[in-house]
Structure 1
Amino acid sequence: MKHYFMATFASYDDNEQMSFRTAVAALDEYKVPGSKLRELVAAAPEADLELVCVSYLGQMTEEEFGAR
């Protein structure tokens, strides 16, 4: 089982409109290292993202996480 975290980032476009982007990380430990956050930011198409929050979703199997 993995620990699931959701990171929420904010960015602004040229018209100063704010938008949000989220990313989910499935990790073996109950912590999100800075290297993982930098990896999530690097994978986003936006150039300037600000971290708004990180939420812990719980420890679960991949099947539980993907359940509808």
Structure 2
Amino acid sequence: MEYFIYTLNHTYTDETHTATKFLGFFNSLEDLEEIKQKAVLLSGFRDYPDCFVTDCYILDKIHWKDAFRM
């Protein structure tokens, strides 16, 4: 059986820089969406409401299989 974990980040770029805020790990999309709906009301996040990034990862699995290349 596969288990999943979801992450929620907020990444935006303005005229001077790019910033990422990590909001957390969640075991369901419903929990993640609940936090996202609260975060979008907060200062900063509400200025960039379309900059939330959700990722899904399978637990106990290597997600990077290649060597680091420059």
TM-score by length of 2: 0.42
More helix by percentage = 1
Structure whose alpha-carbon radius of gyration is higher = 2
Higher strand fraction (1 or 2): 1
The structure, 1 or 2, with the larger RCO (C-alpha pairs under 8 Å, 6+ apart) is 1
